[in-house]
Structures are given as structure tokens and as C-alpha cells.
């Protein structure tokens, strides 16, 4: 969540200082989801609990909240946990429904706490992550996985439309990560005509074999991974995370739709 702070802060928070709080506060934990995952960190419900505690302690006023934007991002860790625990393909649509239902409850709760604008990310094309495209030597996306991603995004879209119809201020905005990612993958050249990402599905950092991943070392501390010559030419850093240049390209694709966050 990103929150602007304008009012005096309680004594216990003064050691942090007002300026950092004015720039916003991040409640996210890498690897978490709306439900518990393999990462033993607070899930989204608990993260919102932390936010609510700060409100109750007077860190944020009603005016602060009403002039702030919350960014809620679900990256797919719930689904990787599901598949890693032998969740069946047949049961996946039901699980997707439970994930999106919980996500909608979470963004409704943030709105109820006083934040008047809540941005939530659509799920990126998980079937295009290198961890999925490795079987095709990073040439093609996994269409079946993306079908399930589209189901998630469709449910989220329908729910957000209903939420906005029930509020006067169209408080909920979806940031369309899916189409932003796909537009980058489908656009091989930038506006100047130079090649931007030669193969956007190929990661920059990769283990030297299936036994290793980006950052792996052996028992003697010897690197067991390779890094591409020019990270700026790669969209993905490792098998799941975009590079800084990759995120810049996604932002460029999203930029035209961001104005709706400020009205």
C-alpha cells in the first residue's frame, strides 16, 4: 500500500520520521499470497491487519487515507503452492474462485478502512514465465496455464465492476498486467526500430543444469549459474522475475491507463 502522510505522527513512530511515512509504506512480503504459501511470512489478511493497527494507533488519519492510493498485487504464489502440493487440474477452477473471492474481500476491507482508491493487479501470463517456457527452450508460452490465468482475471474483472457499481467514487482500478506483459512479448522493436528484447521469454540468469537455479553455488562456493552479457537486453532476470528493464517496459505499456487512479 502507498499512503501519503500529512498529519503529526504518534511519539512511538517519531524515530522513523515523518518524511519516510509520507512516501508510503509497504506491507508486502515476497512469496506470499492471499492464503498461506510455502513462505512462512504473513499472508495478505495479516498484512492488512498490520495496516489497520497503524490506523488505530493514529499513524494515518481519515484525511491521509482518503487522499491515498493502495496498490494490491497478487503474483500467483497461491497457484504455485497449489500445484506444488499436488493440486489437481480438475480442482483448479474451484481454487481460482476461492483465491479471487478472498482477494476481493481483501480489497473491500482496504476500502472500508478509508482508502478511497484501490488499485489491484490482474495476474500476469504465468504460462509465459521462463519456469513454464523452459520446456520449449523459451520459445512459446504455456497456453493451458494462461487459460487459467485468464479465468482468474475474468473473475476479478467481474467482481471489480460490481464493486464500482456499489460505490459512488469508482474506487477500484485493475492494472492489466496480463495485456501489458503480452504487449511487450509481441512487440519486438521499440519506437526507434532497434531490437528491444531479442527473445523476451529467455531469462538472463539461469542454472547450468536442471539441478541448479539462478544464484546457486556448490559446496565449495563455486557459482552454478550463468548470467547473460547484457541484462538490459533481457525481459526476465530469472525463471519468474522480470529485470528492471522488463518492468520498465511493462510500466510503459500500463502508463496510459494510470490516469484513472487520480480521478
pTM: 0.89
| 104-to-30, 162, 167 alpha-carbon distances in Å | 20, 11, 14
Q: Among candidates 247, 101, 85, 79, which has minimal Cα distance to 147?
A: 79
Residue 253 near residue 184, CB atoms below 8 Å: yes
End-to-end, the C-alpha distance of the chain in Å comes to 18
Report pLDDT for 8: 44
Spell out the domain ranges in the chain: 9-189+243-261
Q: Per CATH, which fold does 9-189+243-261 belong to?
A: Rossmann fold (3.40.50)
Q: Among candidates 223, 232, 229, which has minimal Cα distance to 215?
A: 223
Report pLDDT for 260: 82
pLDDT averaged per 10 residues, the chain (length 263): 41 54 83 96 96 90 89 96 95 98 97 95 98 96 98 98 90 96 79 66 95 94 96 95 95 89 77
Amino acid at each position: 500500500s502507498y499512503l501519503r502522510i500529512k498529519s503529526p505522527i504518534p511519539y512511538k513512530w517519531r524515530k522513523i520520521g515523518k518524511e519516510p511515512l509520507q512516501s508510503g509504506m509497504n506491507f508486502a512480503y515476497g512469496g506470499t499470497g492471499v492464503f498461506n504459501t510455502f513462505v512462512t511470512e504473513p499472508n495478505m489478511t495479516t498484512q492488512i491487519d498490520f495496516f489497520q493497527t497503524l490506523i488505530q494507533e493514529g499513524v494515518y488519519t481519515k484525511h491521509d487515507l482518503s487522499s491515498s492510493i493502495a496498490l494490491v498485487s497478487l503474483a500467483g504464489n497461491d497457484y504455485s503452492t497449489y500445484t506444488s502440493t499436488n493440486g489437481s487440474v480438475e480442482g483448479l477452477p474451484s481454487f481460482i474462485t476461492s483465491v479471487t473471492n478472498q482477494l476481493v474481500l481483501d480489497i473491500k476491507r482496504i476500502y472500508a478502512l478509508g482508502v478511497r482508491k484501490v488499485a489491484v493487479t490482474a495476474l500476469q501470463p504465468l504460462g509465459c514465465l521462463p519456469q513454464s517456457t523452459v520446456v520449449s527452450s523459451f520459445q512459446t508460452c504455456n497456453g493451458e496455464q494462461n487459460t487459467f490465468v485468464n479465468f482468474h482475471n475474468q473473475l476479478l474483472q467481474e467482481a471489480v465492476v460490481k464493486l464500482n457499481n456499489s460505490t459512488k467514487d469508482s474506487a477500484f482500478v485493475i492494472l492489466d498486467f496480463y495485456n501489458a506483459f503480452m504487449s511487450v512479448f509481441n512487440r519486438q522493436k521499440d519506437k526507434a526500430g532497434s531490437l528491444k528484447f531479442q527473445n523476451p521469454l529467455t531469462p538472463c540468469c539461469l542454472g547450468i543444469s536442471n539441478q541448479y537455479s539462478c544464484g546457486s553455488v556448490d559446496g565449495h562456493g563455486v557459482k552454478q549459474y550463468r548470467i547473460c552479457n547484457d541484462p538490459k537486453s533481457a525481459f526476465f532476470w530469472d525463471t519468474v522475475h522480470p529485470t528492471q528493464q522488463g518492468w520498465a517496459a511493462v510500466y510503459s505499456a500500463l502508463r496510459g491507463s494510470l490516469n484513472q487512479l487520480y480521478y
